[in-house]
């Protein structure tokens, strides 16, 4: 009788132990978290439609407003590359688990430095029509080689105020060659002049940190700001886990947000 009474209890204990082990070993995966960082002359607003599309698929999304961009009221002297990096780093630190860090255009410089400093918090690094620097390079070093870009002709440099300005009439050519009048109106309504100081500040990376992270590059083939030619040149020799090529202008999150959303979800 003793064996009869204790055998079921032993089975129960064994089942419970195995059940606990199985549960621990098969925990539901942590949902993807995207941290989206805008580029020059824009703000977090530019990601609104993409962020909504990602959230509709159950994805966690954080959009970062860089200092002195969008609705951020940081005075111009506070708009430095270090300040940009600190703002994105804070957003990354505030999330649970590693994130997919996405940078557009100028933000390629920012996310590169954040990834170098916060390697263990980054699951994947995504460049969308973005500057991709080597160690010691500044954005201006790369932009000066971009002979296919229209921005060099359109941008006015205000050294006295420390700003780069694009005339309203040139915004479509630079950013939204494939955009609708409504999308252009949105860009024009949100436009702010761009601080110059971060353009000349170099990024520093190492093979041990930035170099070991999984990277993705999203090319924009009809890009008049960061030309497709420069995109190809910057990415030559860099190992990517995947790439995508969009037949869009420089701001596909405005002209084709659904395409950008599906591209990010496929990563």
What is the number of alpha carbons within 13 Å of residue 32 lying toward its C-beta?
Answer: 19
19: Cα separation from own chain's centroid: 40
Domain residue ranges in the chain:
29-265
**pLDDT for residue 3 is more than 50:** no
What confidence tier does 25 reach under pLDDT thresholds 50, 70, 90?
very low
pLDDT in tens, 166-211: 999 999 999 999 999 999 999 999 999 999 999 999 999 999 999 9
Predicted local distance difference test score (pLDDT) of residue 31: 56
pLDDT: which is higher, 22 or 207 = 207
pLDDT in tens, 96-151: 889 999 999 999 999 999 999 999 999 999 999 999 999 999 999 999 999 988 87
Q: What tokens does 254 get? A: 């405005």
**pLDDT for residue 1 is more than 70:** no
What CA–CA distance (Å, rounded) separates 220 from 262? 15
Q: Assess contact for 93 and 120: CB atoms under 8 A.
A: no
What is the number of alpha carbons within 13 Å of residue 175 lying toward its C-beta?
Answer: 29
pLDDT, averaged across the chain: 89
Which CATH superfamily groups domain 29-265?
Alpha/Beta hydrolase fold, catalytic domain (3.40.50.1820)
pLDDT in tens, 29-66: 445 899 999 999 999 999 999 999 999 999 999 999 99
Q: Assess contact for 70 and 190: CB atoms under 8 A.
A: yes
Task: Give me the mean pLDDT over the 85-89 stretch.
Answer: 98
Nearest to 265 by CA among 216, 220, 211, 210: 216
């Amino acid at each position: 009788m003793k064996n009869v009474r204790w055998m079921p209890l032993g089975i129960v204990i064994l089942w419970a132990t195995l059940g606990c082990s199985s549960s621990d070993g098969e925990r539901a995966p942590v949902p993807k978290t995207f941290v989206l960082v805008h580029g020059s002359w824009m703000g977090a607003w530019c990601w609104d439609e993409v962020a909504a599309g990602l959230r509709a698929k159950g994805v966690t999304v954080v959009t970062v407003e860089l200092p002195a961009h969008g609705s951020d009221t940081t005075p111009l002297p506070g708009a430095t590359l270090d300040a940009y990096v600190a703002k994105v780093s804070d957003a990354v630190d505030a999330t649970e688990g590693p994130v997919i860090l996405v940078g557009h255009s100028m933000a390629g410089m920012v996310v590169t430095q954040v990834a170098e400093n916060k390697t263990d918090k980054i699951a994947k690094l995504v460049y969308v029509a973005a500057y991709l620097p080597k160690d010691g390079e500044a954005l201006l070093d790369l932009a000066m080689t971009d002979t296919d870009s229209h921005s060099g002709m359109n941008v006015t440099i205000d050294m006295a105020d420390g700003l780069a300005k694009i005339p309203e009439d040139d915004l479509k050519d630079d950013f939204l060659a494939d955009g609708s009048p409504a999308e252009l109106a949105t860009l024009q309504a949100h436009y702010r002049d761009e601080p110059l100081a971060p353009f000349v500040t170099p990024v520093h990376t190492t093979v041990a940190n930035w170099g070991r992270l999984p990277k993705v590059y999203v090319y924009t083939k009809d890009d008049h700001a960061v030309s497709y030619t420069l995109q190809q040149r910057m990415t030559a020799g860099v190992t990517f886990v995947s790439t995508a090529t969009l037949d869009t202008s420089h701001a596909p999150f405005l002209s084709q947000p659904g395409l950008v959303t599906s591209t990010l979800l496929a990563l």
